[in-house]
């Protein structure tokens, strides 16, 4: 990956949870920045990371987090940091797609354990 501009058209795309999208905006040994899209009614499995800390920032829509069994709702323009070892998952309980950034340091791929 270069240091030039990046967009959905140039970023590596993947599908998760059968209907959710992700775009790798930055992918290095020390940092990952991903934009994700979750349609209404979707959720991910509860999990945690042993090494990675993560920061989620909502771009559009409303995202519900479950962290350590407690729920928090984030609206566009707000974010949440999750430290290593904390079980978490996200839901889209809204009526529109939610788009958000996931910043992981170090990258969380290969560091995910179902909880």
Using one digit for the tens of pLDDT, what is the confidence trace for 82-108?
Answer: 999 999 999 999 999 999 999 999 999
Q: What share of residues in the chain are helix, strand, coil (percent, to 5)?
A: 0, 55, 45
For the segment(s) 12-92+104-114, the CATH number from 3.60.15.10, 3.55.50.30, 2.60.120.10, 2.60.15.10 is 2.60.120.10
Query: How much is the pLDDT for 2?
Result: 58
C-alpha 77/C-alpha 60 separation (Å) is 8
Is residue 59 within 8 Å of residue 74, measured between CB atoms?
Answer: no
61-98 burial code (b ≥16 CB/10 A, e <16): bbbbbbbeeeeeebeeeeebebeeeebbebbbebeeeb
More confident residue, 89 or 2: 89
- Give bridge partners of residue 89 from the DSSP assignment: 66
- Specify the pTM: 0.93
Name the residue ranges covered by the structural domains of the chain: 12-92+104-114
Using one digit for the tens of pLDDT, what is the confidence trace for 21-54?
Answer: 999 999 999 999 999 999 999 999 999 999 999 9
Query: How much is the pLDDT for 23?
Result: 97
């Amino acid at each position: 990956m270069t240091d030039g501009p990046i967009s959905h058209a140039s970023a590596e795309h993947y599908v998760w949870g059968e209907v959710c999208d992700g775009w790798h905006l930055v992918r290095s040994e020390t940092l990952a920045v991903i934009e994700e899209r979750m349609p209404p009614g979707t959720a991910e499995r509860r999990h945690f990371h042993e090494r990675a800390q993560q920061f989620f920032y909502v771009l559009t829509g409303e995202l519900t987090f479950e962290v350590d069994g407690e729920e928090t709702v984030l609206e566009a323009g707000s974010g949440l940091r999750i430290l290593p070892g904390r079980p978490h998952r996200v839901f889209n309980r809204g009526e529109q797609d939610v788009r958000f950034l996931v910043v992981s340091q170090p990258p969380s791929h290969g560091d995910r354990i179902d909880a």
